[in-house]
Amino acid sequence: MAETYNGYCVKCKEKRDFEGEVAETNGRRMAKGTCPVCGTKMNRILGKA
């Protein structure tokens, strides 16, 4: 189930909304997806829930 998240694209150097999946890396929840414009992988660290 993909949800929309707001993150920063390093390649485009802009904030963008991306669709991603929630994954847990090193004990932290992260949204992982791709930039809709350039296709670069994007991450966003989420708060504890």
If you average pLDDT over every residue of the chain, what do you get? 90
As for how many domains the chain has, the answer is 1
Of the pLDDT bands very low, low, confident and very high (cuts 50, 70, 90), residue 40 is: very high
Phi, psi of 46 (to 5 degrees): -100, 160
Secondary structure class of 1 (helix, strand, coil) = coil
For residue 32, what are its two tokens? 């992982």
Q: What is the pLDDT of residue 1?
A: 61
Residues 10-25 pLDDT 10s: 999 999 999 999 999 8
Of the pLDDT bands very low, low, confident and very high (cuts 50, 70, 90), residue 48 is: confident
Give the domain extent around 9.
3-45
Q: Of residues 47 and 11, which shows the higher confidence score?
A: 11
